[in-house]
């Protein structure tokens, strides 16, 4: 679903950039529009930890079902990410709401069935993603990715730097140790994501070679220097962030049903029949929220 929020859309040099979660890029391509598709992935274990850090600390019923599948797996107990992994591995399947938040989440976001297990089919679907994407970036090599993206979109350095600095956040690096037992459990529920990252880690460095290693080194040096300069200028002009702009907002406000629905559609414009159809569609695609009640 695309967002109508201005934070997810921007216009550069007359071209609209749209940032969204979409599980099938091919659907957009069928529209006939000339567009460029790119995405960003990260190491699967780091992504798993990040997801648990978010969904493991958010509870309550809502349209977005923010607490699932965590509440189903933990049964209200506070677990560290390693214990959660061991408990989740044998339970996560398509019968559980939002199971894909911890089972091959990145592959799911790119249109691959998270329950797929056949190696040949997995590679086939990953290749389809590769064929549909103009660039797949790696979070672990974010600056190199940004430089490749700049070339792909023919963007000016200043525009690119401004967009990045405006969206800067401070994140804590998560990369805790996995025992053999944990690795086995993780591979069971993130087999596709591991194959996905391995594939695009290889294609990424092929793109860097095509770009030129020496040229990449020069551009990285220029990029880092200019970013430092622009960051100093931005910080001197930046206004203090209000509580409303903070990531940690009141959960009842953040996940209020009507507020979320109105972000995408006008609630009053939907008939009761249309609302039931939406709920049915969500249920059939693991997007239902158990116990939420009537939409």
Give the residue among 137, 134, 69, 138 at the shortest CA–CA distance from 105.
69
Q: Where are the beta strands (DSSP E) in the chain?
A: 9-12, 15-18, 38-41, 135-138
Stretch 212-235: mean pLDDT, rounded?
A: 88
pLDDT at res. 187: 97
Stretch 106-131: mean pLDDT, rounded?
A: 95
Least confident among 71-80, 158-167, 180-189, 210-219: 158-167
- The angle formed by the CA atoms of residues 114, 116 and 119, to the nearest 5 degrees, is 130
Q: Where are the beta strands (DSSP E) in 128-236?
A: 135-138
- Which phi-psi region, left, alpha or beta, contains residue 253 (left: φ > 0; alpha: ψ -120 to 50)? alpha
Phi/psi at 189 (nearest 5 deg)? -110, 0
Q: Residue 251: which pLDDT band, with cuts at 50, 70 and 90?
A: very low
Residue 238 DSSP symbol: P
**Which residues lie closer than 8 Å to 267 by C-beta, 6 or more apart?**
258, 261
> pLDDT: is 162 or 78 the higher one?
78
pLDDT at res. 174: 58
- The angle formed by the CA atoms of residues 176, 178 and 182, to the nearest 5 degrees, is 135
Give the residue among 93, 88, 96, 91 at the shortest CA–CA distance from 52.
88
pLDDT at res. 254: 38
Q: Where are the domains of the chain?
A: 6-167+179-239+247-284
pLDDT at res. 194: 98
Give the residue among 67, 48, 49 at the shortest CA–CA distance from 58.
67
> pLDDT: is 56 or 74 the higher one?
74
pLDDT at res. 28: 56
> pLDDT: is 260 or 151 the higher one?
151
> Is the pLDDT confidence value at 216 over 70?
yes
């Amino acid at each position: 679903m695309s967002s109508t929020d201005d934070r997810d859309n921007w216009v550069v040099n007359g071209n609209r950039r749209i940032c969204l979660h979409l599980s099938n890029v091919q659907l957009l391509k069928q529209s006939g529009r000339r567009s460029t598709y790119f995405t960003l992935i990260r190491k699967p274990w780091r992504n798993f930890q990040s997801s648990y850090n978010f969904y493991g600390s958010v509870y309550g019923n809502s349209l977005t079902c923010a607490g699932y599948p965590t509440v189903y797996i933990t049964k209200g107990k506070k677990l560290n990410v390693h214990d959660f992994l061991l408990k989740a591995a044998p339970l996560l399947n398509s019968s559980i709401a939002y199971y894909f938040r911890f089972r091959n989440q990145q592959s799911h976001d790119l249109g691959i069935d998270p329950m797929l297990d056949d190696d040949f089919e997995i590679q086939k679907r990953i290749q389809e993603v590769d064929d549909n994407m103009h660039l797949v970036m790696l979070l672990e090599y974010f600056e190199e990715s940004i430089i490749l993206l700049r070339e792909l979109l023919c963007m000016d350095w200043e525009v690119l730097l401004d967009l990045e600095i405006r969206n800067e956040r401070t994140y804590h690096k998560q990369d805790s140790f996995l025992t053999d037992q944990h690795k086995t459990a993780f591979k069971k529920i993130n087999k596709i994501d591991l194959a996905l990252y391995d594939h695009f880690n290889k294609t990424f460095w092929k793109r860097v070679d095509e770009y030129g290693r020496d040229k990449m080194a020069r551009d990285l040096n220029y990029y880092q220097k200019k970013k430092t300069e622009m960051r100093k200028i931005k910080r001197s002009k930046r206004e203090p962030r209000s509580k409303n702009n903070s990531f940690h907002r009141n959960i009842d406000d953040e996940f209020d049903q009507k507020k979320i629905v109105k972000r995408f559609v006008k609630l009053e414009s939907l008939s009761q029949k249309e609302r039931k159809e939406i709920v049915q569609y969500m249920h059939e695609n693991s997007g239902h929220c158990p116990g939420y009640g009537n939409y």
